[in-house]
Amino acid sequence: MSEIICAKPLLGFCASGSGVGKTTLLARLIPVLVARGLRLSVVKHAHHTFDIDHPGKDSFRIREAGAIQTMLGSRRRWALMTESSRVDDRDDDLRLAELLPHMDVALADLILVEGFKQEPIPKIEIYRPSLNKPLWAARDPHVIAVATDAPAPTALPQLDLNDTLAIADFVLRWFARQEKKT
């Protein structure tokens, strides 16, 4: 797997399976990082088919009528929905490298990536030993730390999953090292 090239640093948050707490951690971590001066964007992996629009809404009707792209805009936000050209029912999802070019990297200092654990980017693994799922870091050299609620069988830095400030400190130190590289 080749390295993903992006104009901004990418930091992933992954786990072996869903329901481990990736989104919960990010929802706590993002406000702390923003308060410390980082501008963040997030790319989140979604399993299977998902929809951010709902039947009966004008944009839903337009997309269902066959529009390849539908943009919604207001004075507070805008969103662009694009129908994937993958119509062959393949089981594989879009890759991170296919999605990143659509991000406006000028708006962020750092892009956080939720999921996409197979991608060759630096990642923090969320690990809960009580769930009896395998430690992803054991097979992925791109995992740089493990955020856990109990000791994990790894030599990587272990972050207390319940200490958002300590995780933010780790992310900021990592980010500062990435900034020095550029």
pLDDT score, position 130: 94
Shared-domain flag, residues 38 and 62: no
Number of domains into which the chain is organized: 2
Shared-domain flag, residues 105 and 17: yes
pLDDT digits (tens, 9 = 90+) for 14-64: 999 888 999 999 999 999 999 999 999 999 887 655 567 678 777 778 877
Shared-domain flag, residues 77 and 133: no
Shared-domain flag, residues 139 and 71: no
Task: Answer whether residue 5 is part of any domain.
Answer: no
Q: Report the relative pairing of strands 143-148 and 158-160 from DSSP bridges.
A: parallel
pLDDT value at 160 more than 80: yes
Q: Report the relative pairing of strands 158-160 and 78-82 from DSSP bridges.
A: unpaired
pLDDT value at 113 more than 80: yes
Write the DSSP symbol of residue 107.
Answer: G
Per the document, the length of the chain is: 182
Task: Answer whether residue 83 is part of any domain.
Answer: yes
- Contact (Cβ atoms closer than 8 angstroms) between residue 46 and residue 116: no
* pTM tops 0.75, yes or no: yes
- Contact (Cβ atoms closer than 8 angstroms) between residue 157 and residue 144: yes
pLDDT score, position 83: 78
| Structure confidence at residue 109 as a pLDDT band (50, 70, 90) | very high
Shared-domain flag, residues 41 and 98: yes
Shared-domain flag, residues 73 and 154: no
pLDDT value at 86 more than 70: no
pLDDT value at 88 more than 70: no
Task: Answer whether residue 2 is part of any domain.
Answer: no
**Cα–Cα distance between 127 and 115 in angstroms, integer?**
13
| Structure confidence at residue 71 as a pLDDT band (50, 70, 90) | confident
More confident site: 47 or 127: 127
Q: What is the edge-to-edge ordering of all strands in the sheet holding 40-44?
A: 40-44, 110-114, 10-14, 123-127, 143-148, 158-160
Of the candidates 10, 12, 11, 15, which has an alpha carbon nearest to the alpha carbon of residue 148?
A: 15
pLDDT score, position 137: 96
Task: Answer whether residue 172 is part of any domain.
Answer: yes
Shared-domain flag, residues 18 and 77: no
Shared-domain flag, residues 86 and 114: no
| Domain, as residue range, for 16 | 10-45+93-181
Centroid of chain to Cα 13 = 6
Shared-domain flag, residues 15 and 60: no
| pLDDT mean across residues, the chain | 87
